[in-house]
Structure 1
Amino acid sequence: MKIMCLNGWGGKLHDVMLPYLAAIAPDILCLQEVIHSPSSGKKWLTYRDGDHVLSQRANLFRDVASALPEHVAIFCPAAQGVLWDGNVSIPSQWGLATFVHRSFPIIGQVQGFVHKDYSPDGFGDHPRSRSAHGVRVWDYDADRALSVTHMHGLRDLAGKMDTPERADQAHRLRDLSGQLAELGDLTLICGDFNVEPDSETLSILADAGMVELVTNYGFGGTRNSHYKKPGRFADYMLINNQDAVRSFDVVYDTEVSDHCPIILDV
């Protein structure tokens, strides 16, 4: 079974990301930074936050679902704000999504917030609402259940240092995974955590029996040439049984976002 984790960067590199996802077709795709603008037929809209202006794929959730037609697609919004079509504001939801190949029965799900709650009337002040989603599936080839929970961690304008909010976020993520997984499950936790490898977040998850794979396999970061700021780590994947790992990779040679895809085969 192949599991991929990726921050989609709002679909900014959608023209290369969609063919890449279709070609790899992971059994489970955990995708963060997903845009869903159900009332708009536009292909592109603009995000504005002061001097921070980004082009966003207006319906990235729909785009990825179309690229993976054999997958069950689940969108989990964290907030609804506005994107812009010129001077016209368009209601748009922002969050994360999970895609599961139809050959794997979904036998459990968990969805919740690791910071704040759903923001219905705007994206809000930083640090903004953050959600998490998990699926429990049955893997017939391995004759076991697999539980995968992912989140998009807090973006703090001051940096990636430990904060009480990030510690609380890690505890909530751990607890959501614990609600989903049953005894004997192969359990994964992943996402764009927005923290450094020596963070309290990863220590909290390690204390829960999870092994972090990015640094354990010697990768030097999860960012690529599109990311111009210092600090190369953001994304992580953890597992409760490292013996189940067949292969693990952080993909640098195909740039589909400013984050690298993380791919695990178990």
Structure 2
Amino acid sequence: MRIMCLNGWGGKLDSHLQNYLRETSPDVLCLQEVVHTPATQKDWLTYRDGDHVLPQRANFFRDVREALPGHTATFCPAAQGVLWDDDKSIPSQWGLATFVRADFPVIAQIQGFVHKSFSAYGYGEHPRSRSAHAVRLYDYERGWPVTIAHMHGLRDLRGKMDTPERMEQAQRLAGLATCVSEPGDRLIICGDFNVEPDSQTFEVFNEIGMDELVTGCGFSGTRSSHYKKPGRFADYMLVNGAVEVVSFEVPEQPEVSDHLPLLLEI
């Protein structure tokens, strides 16, 4: 089973990402920063937050679903705000999504929030709402279940330091994951955590028997050349002792986002 985790950057590098997903075709894709705008058929809209202006693939969720037609897709919104078509505002949802190859039935799942709750009338003040999703799958080829959980950690304008809110989001994600998984399950937890490698976040996951792979395997960061700020870590993947890791990669090419994909084979 091949599991990919990626912050998709709102589909800004859409053509590169779609080609990459078709070529790699992971069994499970945990995707953050997903845009879903059923109110328009436009390909591109604009996100505006003060001086922060970013092109967004208007129906990024639909695009990835089309790139992975053999997968079951679940979108988990964190907020509904607006994107812009010139001077026209268009309601748009933002969150994360999970894509599971149809060969692996989803036998349990839970969707929830690791920070705040659903923001129905605007993206809200920073740090904004953050969602999470956990699925329990059955692998018929090997005859065992596996549980995979991911989140998009909150963004704090002050930086990536530990805060009570970040500790709470780690505890909430651990709770969601262990709510779905059963004793003896192979458990994977991943996502864009928005913390540094020395964060107390990992102490929370260590308490439920998780080992972190990005720094544990000696990778020097999870950001592509499109990310211009200091600090090269954001994304992490953790496994428990029941998981047999066949391979773990953080490929730098092709660049499909300002984040690098995490690719685990178990």
| TM-score interval, normalised by the smaller of the two chains | over 0.9
Alignment partner of 1:214: what SS? coil
Question: Over the residues paired in the alignment, what is the CA RMSD in angstroms?
Answer: 0.7
Q: Give the CA deviation at 1:91.
A: 0.2
**1:145 equivalent in structure 2:** 145
**1:248 equivalent in structure 2:** 248
**Partner deviation per Cα, 1:180-234 (whole Å, 9 max, x = no partner):** 1001110000000000000011111112110000011000010010000000000
**1:119 equivalent in structure 2:** 119
The one-letter code of the counterpart of 1:207 is E
The one-letter code of the counterpart of 1:64 is V
Q: What are the residue-to-residue correspondences of 1:139-178 with 2, within 5 Å?
A: 139-178=139-178
Q: What are the residue-to-residue correspondences of 1:1-266 with 2, within 5 Å?
A: 1-241=1-241, 244-266=244-266
Equivalent pair of 1:188/1:237 in contact (CA under 8 Å): yes
The one-letter code of the counterpart of 1:170 is A
TM-score by length of 1: 0.99
| Structure 2: gaps spanning 5 or more residues | none
Greater Cα offset, 236-245 or 179-188: 236-245
The one-letter code of the counterpart of 2:19 is P
Equivalent pair of 1:61/1:97 in contact (CA under 8 Å): yes
CA distance in 2, matches of 1:249, 1:54: 28
Count of aligned residue pairs for this structure pair: 266
CA distance in 1, matches of 2:243, 2:64: 31
- In structure 2, the CA distance between the partners of 1:189 and 1:83, relative to structure 1 (3 Å rule), is same
Equivalent pair of 2:220/2:232 in contact (CA under 8 Å): yes
| Structure 1: gaps spanning 5 or more residues | none
Equivalent pair of 1:12/1:57 in contact (CA under 8 Å): yes
Q: Give the CA deviation at 1:142.
A: 2.1
TM-score by length of 2: 0.99
Q: Give the CA deviation at 1:141.
A: 2.1
CA distance in 1, matches of 2:120, 2:96: 16
Q: Give the CA deviation at 1:159.
A: 0.3
Greater Cα offset, 243-252 or 71-80: 243-252
Q: Which runs of 4+ in 1 moved over 6 A?
A: none
Greater Cα offset, 218-227 or 200-209: 200-209
The one-letter code of the counterpart of 1:95 is G
